[in-house]
Structure 1
């Protein structure tokens, strides 16, 4: 874990709500609380994994951090600047340091443009290199993601999913960023291609001193690439610790349930006990009071879990950072 490194990005009380509109006049009648009061730090040079069920707010949080979504409340301190309230024009100077890799590589690439034009555009807009050096820089980017240089004359529909994702990674690298949000970058790929892309991301991180926020619901990929892991449930972070600590010593009931569903390639553990969560995930438009997880938690206690909101607190008896948002994590 890279605890001693400088904090590159700090998120405090971050809230991202999406309005629910109804009626002829499209009046706002409520909000989808996708991200609801998140506090998080990402250290220089590390990979922070962000996991949770679909719909828990992972992607909304990643998009908010790079300011593709505007937060309703809270701060996003990146490189000692609070960018939460920056206008789109002012964000232009920050874009070179903050980039994102999208889940679907095909929909994120313009099908009418050749690979050369896709990679050259950010170089031109942000004046990363002189115009006469752009062809050389495009070749360098393709080489960095292990694609042949002659691919630059092709269109996105002429590539496989894994190759398209490599082009997406090359585009993110074009501006020489400090932080890259990887929004489920391997979930749309087959298993063998996933491994290749993950290895590529790790190699690039080492060579270029990159920092990643790696968003995924596949625990295998997160375990392989992450230094620390943050677990998200219904818009809130419920546990944060090093990767080894999360997998060996999970303390929040939701994290325990997630890990029990994770397939382990060990025949002696095929009969291990599974934790089956009862009930459905509550609506983010009307989340339960108190602990968000209490409606599905077998350890929940009345008049405490359904009334009070647990904050992230250090787990007792554990060396290093291990935060859990549970009133009773020391009881089990």
Structure 2
């Protein structure tokens, strides 16, 4: 799956598993004794993309750009303010809560912190049994067998299912989180920075596990991260996000080898170069902090930090344009 292998075939022969159209997720800012709404934090502001069956879309950007909010909104852990989410032909934005419960088994999430996402009062076997029983995936008499299968899938010894979460290492706890996500046989898994809290050597193990499981079970991933290393390794396509918007999206190889947006180039410049002969190459870094999503800049949102910004960038808003490799930048469009 690395580097977008087979992506063109996927996109031309199959329909998207999930389609996102002009998605917005705002959070109200309230002040005063009457909690009057005085503004909104625009965490996700008009995002559109598709994910195809069996592929991995990597979503990358700085902390606070809205990546995790997108993931949580896609599976309705957060309520969208506007826009449309179509999953496997069903409009999730207009689905009733009753129908949403029955559909949740089709999409699951792996959280960033494997410790806080697991109930410390439950043994592993209870953590894995709960979704199986709630969604009636297997008969009660078959729950123990299914738990053993899940432990095998993620590379944990079966006898450890009787232990509590705090008795495992960070990497082992994340494997438990992966097993829980797999328990319902989902079609889509949101990987919300699943390796950022782990040691580098353990990160590689978890990434390889996710790739192996995807191949075995025909899974579809939205892989969220703020570092390009993991995203480059596991993703077929990459979407680069800045301040609530996607500024570039395309095949992994194209985005990495030929970035179009200045922000994508800055992210790549921040990535360490392992080849010492290339380290003297001039590299341009962006300055300053990300503006507040409660009061984003007019025009191109990146113009306050962009080294090539012009007056046009300050006044007009570039659209995400292109064919298979799209970027929202006036310099690219011209």
Which of 8, 21, 24 is equivalent to 1:12? Answer: 21
The superposition leaves residues 63-94 of structure 1 with CA deviations (integer Å, 9 ceiling, x where unpaired) of: 00011000000000000111013333221111
Distance 1:89 1:310 in 2: 40
Which of 303, 307, 316 is equivalent to 2:315? Answer: 307
Distance 1:324 1:54 in 2: 20
In the other structure, the counterpart of 1:171 is 180
Question: For residues 7-156 of structure 1, what are the structure 2 equivalents within 5 Å?
Answer: 7-156=16-165
Distance 2:232 2:151 in 1: 27
Of 273-282 and 59-68, more deviation after overlay is shown by 273-282
The superposition leaves residues 151-185 of structure 1 with CA deviations (integer Å, 9 ceiling, x where unpaired) of: 11000000000000000000000000000000000
In the other structure, the counterpart of 2:326 is 323
Residue 162 (str. 1) matches residue 183 (str. 2): no
Contact 1:36 1:236 in 2 (8 A): yes
Of 6-15 and 84-93, more deviation after overlay is shown by 84-93
In the other structure, the counterpart of 2:201 is 192
Task: State how many pairs are aligned.
Answer: 325
Q: SS at the partner of 1:10?
A: strand
More helix by share: 2
Distance 2:333 2:314 in 1: 19
Distance 2:22 2:333 in 1: 25
The superposition leaves residues 166-216 of structure 1 with CA deviations (integer Å, 9 ceiling, x where unpaired) of: 000000000000000000000000000000000000000000000000000
Contact 1:260 1:273 in 2 (8 A): no
Q: SS at the partner of 1:215?
A: strand
TM-score, length basis structure 1: 0.96
Q: Which runs of 5+ in 1 are unaligned?
A: 315-319
The superposition leaves residues 29-64 of structure 1 with CA deviations (integer Å, 9 ceiling, x where unpaired) of: 111100000011101100000000000000000000
Distance 1:89 1:220 in 2: 40
CA separation of 1:330/1:290 partners in 2, compared to 1, >3 Å: closer, same or farther? closer
Contact 1:230 1:240 in 2 (8 A): yes
Distance 1:279 1:146 in 2: 43
Structure 1 residue 272, shift from structure 2 partner: 2.2
Distance 2:203 2:137 in 1: 30
Distance 1:213 1:274 in 2: 30
Structure 1 residue 264, shift from structure 2 partner: 2.0
Structure 1 residue 330, shift from structure 2 partner: 5.3
Structure 1 residue 220, shift from structure 2 partner: 0.7
Of 223-232 and 304-313, more deviation after overlay is shown by 304-313
In the other structure, the counterpart of 1:317 is none
The superposition leaves residues 209-253 of structure 1 with CA deviations (integer Å, 9 ceiling, x where unpaired) of: 000000001111001000000000000000001111111000001
Q: SS at the partner of 1:237?
A: strand
Q: SS at the partner of 1:142?
A: helix
Contact 1:16 1:70 in 2 (8 A): yes
